[in-house]
Amino acid sequence: MSHSLRLQDRVALVTGGGTGIGRAAALAFARDGARVVVAGRREAELLGTVALIRQQGGRCACRAHGCVGQRPGSGAGDDHAGPFRAS
């Protein structure tokens, strides 16, 4: 997937990474060698971004979160962040 490795050994956190500009940014960071974590409200869209990056050989994880007032750790997507390791 990497067109360059200038972001190798870096982690990029992209909020709103499920669609639009956020997805495009996540894909660009992954192309440049970064490990990517995408965050947002809609789990299905985030998983789509993760799948795209992984299909192209990149490393990616996601974290879906709710709105203000939601208890930390109770959001959908908690299980999707676990397999991601920065090492």
**Overall average pLDDT of the 52-70 stretch:** 83
Gyration radius from the chain CA atoms: 12
Say how far apart CA 16 and CA 40 lie, in whole Å.
5
Say how far apart CA 76 and CA 25 lie, in whole Å.
22
Say how far apart CA 70 and CA 3 lie, in whole Å.
39
pLDDT in tens, 22-57: 999 999 999 999 999 999 999 999 999 999 999 999
Residue 75 reports pLDDT greater than 70 = no
In the chain, the N- to C-terminal Cα span, in Å, equals 19
What are the residues whose beta carbons fall under 8 Å from the beta carbon of 81, sequence distance 6 or more?
A: 37, 61, 62, 63
Higher pLDDT pick, 3 / 82: 3
Which pTM value belongs to this model?
0.73
pLDDT, averaged across the chain: 81
